[in-house]
Amino acid sequence: MLGKTDKSAVGFVVAALIFFFIGGLLTTVVPPLVDKSWSQPFENHDPAKGPTGKLVPLNAQQLQGRAIYVREGCWYCHTQQTRTLLADTKRSGWKGVDSPISTPDEFVYDSPHMFGTKRTGPDLSRVGGKYDTQWHRTHFRNPRDLTPGSVMPPFPWIVDNPDEFNALVAYIQTLGRCKDWRPDNDYER
């Protein structure tokens, strides 16, 4: 069959598309049909099964903050996934408590997804509730004031715009909160 594709353009096109679509369909269309956890929002009320909690969609202000996170390209340097690596669960942890790993059901409302591919700054999948608004204000104005050695850019145009700043912080505080895993010492409380 393939010998003929050498001489016939039509034969070539048919063969090239068949080869492509076998893998294409099996790896994109089939997996969500097989794995329901990709589309079922996280919800657990039984502590025996792991951290409890419930995933709820973001409100209007948090969505505005998320749009700013997308616009400024925060996701180029910050991942949002605590991987199945011991070090990740420790780095995403807080006050000596390890973070649970990220699972697909925590992200079903996310679009565009913000998993990220590069970790120039720390992972943000469990950052919600760890730092208060004043910390974020100082940090966004100049990250090096709080973290000497940081290479994060300053974002004065966000800090100077209370509407945008509050929205962005509201979004950041939601990250990783659907699973109730942290020790009880929120700055917010």
Partner 1 sequence: MPAPAHVSALPYGGPGSVSPVESIHEDTTAKWFMLSAISYFFVVGIVALTIAAKFVWPQLLGTVSVLTYGRLRPLHVNGMLFGWLLAADMGLAYYFVPRLCGVKLWSEKLGVATAIIWNIIVLGAVVMLPMGLNKGWEYAELPSVLSALVVVAWVCFGINVFATVATRKYEQMYVSLWYTMGTILWTTFVYATGNIAVFFTTGVNQANLNWMYVHNAVGLIFTPIGLAIAYYFIPKASSTPLYSHKLSMVGFWALAFVYVWTGAHHMLHGPISQWLQTIAITFSLMLLIPVWTVVYNFFATMRGQWYQLRENVPLKFLMSGVVFYLLTCFQGPMHSLRSVNAIVSKTDWIPGHAHMALLGCFSFFAIAGCFYTIPRLFRTELHSIPLANWSFWFFMIGGLGFFVTLWLGGFWQGWQWNNPSIPFIDTVRALKPVWTVRFFSGILMFLGITTFLYNIWATVIDSQGKARSAAAVVNA
Binding-site member from 56, 59, 134, 147 for partner 1 (CB under 8 A):
147
Q: How far is the CB of 22 from partner 1 (least distance, A)?
A: 7
CA distance 28 to 187: 41
Query: Residue for token digits 């792991």?
Result: 50
From candidates 23, 49, 95, 184, binder to partner 1 by CB under 8 A: 23
Among positions 101, 131, 137, 177, the unique one binding partner 1 when judged by CB under 8 A? 101
What are the residues facing 94 on neighbouring strands?
97
- Closest by CA to 178, choosing from 109, 131, 83, 84, is 109
Token code pair at residue 164: 């945008």
Contact between 78 and 119 (Cβ < 8 Å): yes
Using the contact rule CB under 8 A, the part of the chain among 74-82, 131-139, 171-179, 181-189 near partner 1 is: 74-82
Residue 167 and residue 3: Cα distance in Å, rounded? 61
93 or 189, CB closer to partner 1? 93
By CB under 8 A, the residues from 151 to 180 that bind partner 1 are 151-157
| Residue 96 near partner 1 by CB under 8 A | no
